[in-house]
Amino acid sequence: MNKGMLAFACVVAVAVATPSFARDDRLKFPVEAALTKGQNYKEKVDPSIRLYFGEQRTPKVAKKIGEWTSNKKTNAANKSDQEACDLAFISAVVSLQDRAKREGGNAVVNITSVYKNEPFTSPKEYMCGAGTFMSGVALRGTVVTLDKK
C-alpha cells in the first residue's frame, strides 16, 4: 500500500470510529403526507384499522386492549431525510395495525412518537431519528375496539 492510500485509509478509519461525525438528528414530518405517500409503498396502511395520533378525538372506546410500541428503521442511503423517515413511519404504523388485528382491535389511539425514550405527541406530526446511514421511527399506541355507533 502506498503512502497516499495508507493516509486515506487512516482518515476513513478515524472518521468511522469517531462518534462526533455520526449524525443523529430529530426531525418532524407531517403525519397526513406520510400516510398518503404510504399507499405507494410496499407496505400498505389498512383503512379498516383506524389511527388516531396524539390527543385526537375518537369515537367512544368500547374496550381498551393494551399499549404497544413499534420501532422501525430503514436504510437512509440515497434517500432524502423525509423519504427515509416516511418509509420507517409507514412500517411502524403497519406494525401497530397488525398488532391491533392480532389482538382483536379495530383502532390504535393516542399514537405518540418516541425518540430515545422521549415522547413527542402531536396529531399532525411524527418524530424521526435521522442518521447518516439509518433513519428510524418508534410509535407507541393503544389498541382499542371503538364503538360501532
Q: Is residue 81 part of a domain?
A: yes
Give CA–CA dist 88/48, Å, rounded: 21
Say if 7 falls within a structural domain: no
Which CATH number goes with the domain that contains 121?
A: 3.30.110.70
Count the domains in the chain: 1
User: pLDDT digit string (tens) for 24-79?
Assistant: 899 999 999 999 887 677 778 999 999 999 999 999 999 999 999 999 999 999 99
Alpha helices (H) along the chain:
3-17, 31-37, 81-103
- Residue 123 and residue 54 in contact, taking contact as beta carbons nearer than 8 Å: yes
Determine, yes or no, domain membership for 87.
yes
What is the identity of the amino acid at 17?
A: A
Look at residue 2 and tell me if it is in a domain.
no
Contact between residue 70 and residue 146 where contact means Cβ atoms under 8 Å apart: no
Distances (CA, A) of 75 to 11, 23, 25, 87, 135: 24, 14, 15, 9, 7
Do the domain assignments include residue 129?
yes
Domain that residue 47 falls in: 23-146
Domain membership flag for residue 127: yes
